[in-house]
Structure 1
């Protein structure tokens, strides 16, 4: 890879996992029942905060992006054994694993940045719904396959636009995480776009489902345009990100022969600010059941090891 910072993260994250699998474990080397047993995913990376970077602000940025990724990954995992074909089940699972990997890195950085030393398990398993900062679009139920790929297209295009801006973030660790994630999201966006076109330009029934799935996103899109101080402080601005999403949706929508959704009109504030607004911890009724399933083992056995 050309980016030396990106290479640092790749080598650290990818290599230590396989080394950990190969290591012999002593009898008393217990592993968390709900964890990986691997070291911190940023192990070996210089995590010192650069001069001028505010730790709590960086942690807030990482948490927002990490929560988007974790909740999206959990929704994609729900397609396991339910996808239309085995090939699509594997593709969705791999996209979910990419997002899970991004969440791990971001949670680790958050714990370092705010000085708490909390690890990824704390952020994933030991917080309630009101403490999560993901956008509400990520937590909505999957619906049918057309609805899920419509959401995947919007979220992938939006997240890619944000991470591409964060490649120049003043924190080199966040910048490297963004660079790595952006490469993965190019594939996520392409996968979703191909399915939107395939269904939209397919049969009468597939066209109807694709059109309805895309239109159903409109009530949640205003949140993607709302001011986001946590991200903007590090260079990720919502307006340019949404412009990039709109360009993708127009291209894909034209090929799929479906209307392009846009944020529903509201008063002086975006619609999401007067209703559920995930960045402020105000979520839909769908997040709590999702987290209950995700966190069930960790909650039931907080000290469990195997």
Structure 2
């Protein structure tokens, strides 16, 4: 293999890894949200959370199908979703944490929705047309998601004493997981330099300003937390992901190649 061919292969593998990461983020969070189906605080919210989950799962399918196309090895979206083990998933840790109570889910969604607003807006400018198209669809969904999470944050934060305390507790517990989403490794740096991937660090201050403004309006406090948890992009996860994958992948692995 020539130097040029080797470089092209490495660049293609970088892109596959990046697309899989975006798919993993969407799939794992979508699955977590789907756990609210039949468990929502009331029927309309049950349906709304289910629809948000479907948006994320739909986004993961687009990413996995693109990764399958890039790999050219006869893989399908199902191979990436159901036949990889925990160490092969590269989602951010915040997405795999248990759904918790309703306040916990809303706090996580607020952090992620504000992040996605900036991230997908930047991804629209990607030189990769497929990624830009995925971002174009995702940004419309994110606008709806953020409107919901913001409204619920205000409603719970500035509601009863109990709802306020639950929201503040969730924010405090999740804050240390937000640092990871603004970091990138050598794979993403090469794609950032090529105009394909997004440099999330570029909008970290704006994310903090947006989140802080919403929390202040909801009479909630931005944590003064020094701890941070990382590792998702390297395949190091909490114990919660293995349990999620066991449940999510069971039927597909138990009945391989089944059609229904």
TM-score, scaled to structure 1? 0.77
Structure with greater helix percent: 2
Change (3 A) 1:241 1:290: farther
SS in 2 for 1:236: coil
SS in 2 for 1:286: helix
Partner of 2:202: 240
Partner of 1:283: 237
Q: Does 1:93 align with 2:47?
A: no
Partner of 1:296: 250
Match runs of 1:1-306 below 5 Å: 54-232=11-189, 233=191, 234-261=196-223, 264-265=225-226, 271-273=228-230, 277-306=231-260
- How far residue 156 of structure 1 moved from its aligned partner, in angstroms, is 1.5
Change (3 A) 1:171 1:287: same
TM-score, scaled to structure 2? 0.90
- Gapped regions of structure 1 (runs ≥ 5): 1-50
- How far residue 283 of structure 1 moved from its aligned partner, in angstroms, is 0.3
Change (3 A) 1:63 1:199: same
SS in 2 for 1:168: coil
Q: In structure 2, how many angstroms separate the alpha carbons of the residues matched to 1:230 and 1:189?
A: 29
Q: Give me the CA root mean square deviation.
A: 1.8
Cα displacement string for residues 230-249 of structure 1 (whole angstroms, at most 9, x for unaligned residues): 44412311212322321221
- Gapped regions of structure 2 (runs ≥ 5): 1-7
- How far residue 210 of structure 1 moved from its aligned partner, in angstroms, is 0.8
SS in 2 for 1:227: coil
Q: In structure 1, how many angstroms separate the alpha carbons of the residues matched to 2:145 and 2:9?
A: 34
Contact map agreement 2:176 2:226 (CA 8 A) in 1? no
- How far residue 261 of structure 1 moved from its aligned partner, in angstroms, is 3.8
- How far residue 55 of structure 1 moved from its aligned partner, in angstroms, is 1.9
More displaced stretch, 155-164 vs 289-298 = 155-164
Q: In structure 1, how many angstroms separate the alpha carbons of the residues matched to 2:188 and 2:143?
A: 20
Q: What is the count of residue pairs matched by the alignment?
A: 248
